Structure 1
Amino acid sequence: MSHQDLINMTRSLVEHGAADTMEYADDIVRIPASSYTDPEMFEREKKQIFRRLPLMVAPSCELPEPGDYKALDICGVPLLLTRQKDGSVGAFLNMCKHRGNPLVEGTGNATRMVCGYHGWTYKNDGSLVGVASPQDFGAVDKASLCLTRFPVYEKSGLIWATLDPDSTLDIADYLCGYDELLGAFGFDGWTLFAQRTLPGPNWKTAYDGYLDFYHLPVLHKDTFGADFYNRANYFSFGPHQRLSTPSKYAIKVQGEDDQKIDLTQMADEDIPYEVLVQGVWTIFPHISIASFYGGGQRGAMISQLFPGDEVGESYTTQYYVMENKPETEADVKSAHEQFDFLEIVVRDEDYKTGKRQHEALQSGLLKEVLFGRNERGGQVFHQWVERLTNASDDELKDIFAAECKQAAE
């Protein structure tokens, strides 16, 4: 995939916008309401999707320096990410091989990590280098007691890991070339300005919202405005999707001014990069990326969604990343205002509505929910959830090898 792919997508959007059309799904799709409320299905999805498929676990700028680490729990799996001496990223089970105690919490910087239970010591490449009181403990082969390693992959300023140490699913195959396109954002070298974590509804209820422009002028009339667009065309790369508004116009932000540009009058080579990556980019099963402008420069909010403990719970970490660290007090204030605005939109509008929706669905009186022909993103998402939840490990490899081959053709 290349810069030309971005041009082609943009030209497709321009053509539809000029004709006042959009791409439709073949038909309305009906999804059982129980797929949002069934606890057994929820536990199966956590096992078959979140503990088996590659997940985008951090933007690279969260671990910018050698020695940086991050610990997090995903669906009951304690994960440790480290930036190693050679600049590569390691992904490990955050459990000491002695008794299983987690080595670290939160984030920090350390070349060695000492277990707080008995004092066993590991390097940040996962190797065991010290057993406390070895003369009393007894002889052990330290090389066989390294931290359990997970498959990990870093590309385009993002880090993926698979929470199955025995997985043979190639992460690059899983991304179907989408990782190359994500490089257009230029996240390599960006800075992490701020982050926070918000509670949300069922993970699929929450993710539906990221794949839906239909609701924007209704639910967000007081924040985005009632005249906001509600159409989206979808570009798919395996289960990963980009959605963007069909329009011949784009908004280019220059300083404090917004410039409306007519793309039909612009040569391909003159289209700004921020226009080529406009819209919402989703990485299955749990990531949404959208561009914004605040603090005097380009920024993006990366939303990282994980299921919670119960079927009606999820949590989302919002990362606000910026092309450069804001220097002036005014730019810092502007960036915070942009990030705070996005919190209101998601917390008080999207997720508040999602929680009310989930509570109503739990009555069991609505048997199915609908995704219209103009909601193809949601249709595709639920089809992939069902397909991958029911696929065997071997079938997973075949599915994504085929998708990767198709994307390359």
Structure 2
Amino acid sequence: MTRSLIAHAKAGTIDQAPAVARIPVSAYTDPALFELEKKRIFRRLPLMLAPSSELPEPGSYKAMTVVGVPVLLTRQKDGSVAAFLNMCTHRGNPVAQGEGKASRFVCGYHGWTFKNDGTLLGVASSDDFGAIDKAAHCLKRFPVLERAGLVWAILDPASTLSIEDYLCGYDDMLANFGFDGWHVFAKRTISGPNWKTAYDGYLDFYHLPVLHASTFGSDFFNRANFFAWGPHQRLTNPTGTYTKLGTDQSIDLAAMDEKDWPIDALMAGVWTIFPHISIASFYGGNARAVLISQLFPGDSVGESVTNQYYLMEREPTDAATIEGAHQQFDFLKTVVEGEDYATGKRQHEALMSGLTDHVLFGRNEGGGQAFHGWAERLVAASDDELKRIFAAERVAEAAE
């Protein structure tokens, strides 16, 4: 990838899609399609629910609601991660809230108790309640996989889709970040527009010097190449230079031996995990960090919710680094919420007028074209077709 980017930078070119694409406005505004996307994308496909460092040790847990599904993630005694439906098997009350560390969970409604591994441990006043098979009333498990310092789960307990196939080898690329040992510095949740409108922005460098002129600057690059692993993408601008961390020194990668290329130069750009994750590198406080944006559809077609994680390669210990990291995280809130998402909400309101039937994605917006193609394809696919699609994609990526 880096060789390709250097070659394009020298030639002053970018990869381009074959033609300008027309995406129907209904892809953003149709409430029926929106509900179908929640059901056939977000409740059928693996979702990245947490960085591994959010569950740092056995007993760590995290409760969250994802497209209406209450989910409980726990770190087991053996170090593995489990994902459960956060619903007591008595009356359905969630057994955990927030995050923390616990060896067991007691339902706050009637006191039923579950172990960290989902096992039903105790029924309150069991003699009065009556005999039940405890083994048949454990917390319901979701398929889960932890790779590259990230945790994926499928919100369908009966799913037989291979998460490994779904990742198409992309997890091998993401592993180069080394997230296993990173530190969760800060988190927050922000509201946004339609989920595809929001996601378009993560796949688009074309807007950077215009929409972000007052934050990134009007001379910021607006060209990008994208590399694909199935529906997952990396976007980055064609360049042969790298600015060394903590300096203004620009390094010519083409003049270096490839074995000396720094890993943060090789991992530059925006890495997206379909259908809802963006990972972008930053250096707040002169320390290597990433902003992970975790995007979910909201309650209505024009709404979304994004959890932002600021992960740092090492936990900062000095005041200057801590302050710099806070400033970077606050700056990114201004960029995403105040510029990207505010624009997306205005855009959605205009599209809801019904006075245009399509939007355009240029030849320089191939990443967005690919995203919409995958969204349409996967909504239409049957469960068996999903398995065939990703098994074939994984084989293709392995062959390359």
Q: So what's the TM-score if we normalise by structure 2?
A: 0.99
CA-CA distance at 1:295 after TM superposition: 2.5
One-letter amino acid of the counterpart of residue 278, structure 2: S
CA-CA distance at 1:276 after TM superposition: 0.4
One-letter amino acid of the counterpart of residue 130, structure 1: G
Distance 2:28 2:242 in 1: 36
Instruction: Say whether 1:188 aligns with 2:180.
Output: yes
Instruction: Say whether 1:16 aligns with 2:16.
Output: no
Distance 2:59 2:299 in 1: 31
CA-CA distance at 1:296 after TM superposition: 3.2
User: Residue in 1 aligned with 2:108?
Assistant: 116
CA-CA distance at 1:297 after TM superposition: 1.4
Distance 2:275 2:25 in 1: 19
User: Residue in 2 aligned with 1:218?
Assistant: 210
1:350 to 329, 340, 352: 340
Instruction: Say whether 1:328 aligns with 2:318.
Output: yes
2:288 to 298, 310, 314: 298
SS of residue paired to 2:8: helix
2:155 to 140, 150, 163: 163
Distance 1:276 1:264 in 2: 13
1:241 to 225, 233, 244: 233
Aligned residue runs from structure 1 range 27-42, under 5 A: 27-42=19-34
Distance 1:248 1:335 in 2: 27
1:138 to 102, 114, 130: 130
Deviations 1:64-83 (A, max 9, x none): 01111111111111111001
Deviations 1:279-310 (A, max 9, x none): 00000000000111123311000000000000
SS of residue paired to 2:288: strand
Deviations 1:366-401 (A, max 9, x none): 110000000000000000000000000000000000
Distance 2:43 2:248 in 1: 43
Distance 1:251 1:131 in 2: 60
User: Residue in 2 aligned with 1:285?
Assistant: 275
SS of residue paired to 2:282: strand
Aligned residue runs from structure 1 range 310-389, under 5 A: 310-389=300-379
Instruction: Say whether 1:272 aligns with 2:262.
Output: yes
User: Residue in 1 aligned with 2:397?
Assistant: 407
SS of residue paired to 1:353: helix
Unaligned runs of 5+ in 2: none
Distance 1:279 1:250 in 2: 12
User: Residue in 2 aligned with 1:76?
Assistant: 68
SS of residue paired to 1:231: coil
Distance 1:97 1:293 in 2: 46
User: Residue in 1 aligned with 2:380?
Assistant: 390
Percentage identity across aligned positions? 68
CA-CA distance at 1:34 after TM superposition: 1.2
Distance 1:389 1:274 in 2: 35
Number of residue-to-residue matches in the alignment: 399
CA-CA distance at 1:160 after TM superposition: 0.2
- Name the stretch that deviates more: 260-269 or 372-381: 260-269
Distance 2:347 2:357 in 1: 14
**Alpha-carbon RMSD:** 0.6
SS of residue paired to 2:142: coil
One-letter amino acid of the counterpart of residue 290, structure 2: A
One-letter amino acid of the counterpart of residue 327, structure 2: E
Distance 2:381 2:80 in 1: 31
Distance 1:115 1:26 in 2: 56
CA-CA distance at 1:258 after TM superposition: 2.5
One-letter amino acid of the counterpart of residue 281, structure 1: W
User: Residue in 2 aligned with 1:6?
Assistant: none
CA-CA distance at 1:252 after TM superposition: 1.9
Distance 1:308 1:223 in 2: 27
Distance 1:160 1:262 in 2: 37
Distance 2:168 2:199 in 1: 20
User: Residue in 2 aligned with 1:4?
Assistant: none
Deviations 1:245-276 (A, max 9, x none): 011212221x3x22211111011101000000
CA-CA distance at 1:330 after TM superposition: 1.2
User: Residue in 2 aligned with 1:5?
Assistant: none
SS of residue paired to 1:365: coil
Instruction: Say whether 1:259 aligns with 2:249.
Output: yes
1:207 to 196, 199, 208: 199
Unaligned runs of 5+ in 1: 1-8
Distance 2:65 2:198 in 1: 19
One-letter amino acid of the counterpart of residue 394, structure 1: D
One-letter amino acid of the counterpart of residue 408, structure 1: A
One-letter amino acid of the counterpart of residue 109, structure 1: K
2:97 to 105, 111, 114: 105
Whether the 8 Å CA contact 1:252–1:274 is kept in 2: the answer is no
Instruction: Say whether 1:151 aligns with 2:143.
Output: yes
Whether the 8 Å CA contact 1:193–1:321 is kept in 2: the answer is yes
Distance 2:168 2:193 in 1: 29
SS of residue paired to 2:316: coil
Distance 1:267 1:236 in 2: 26
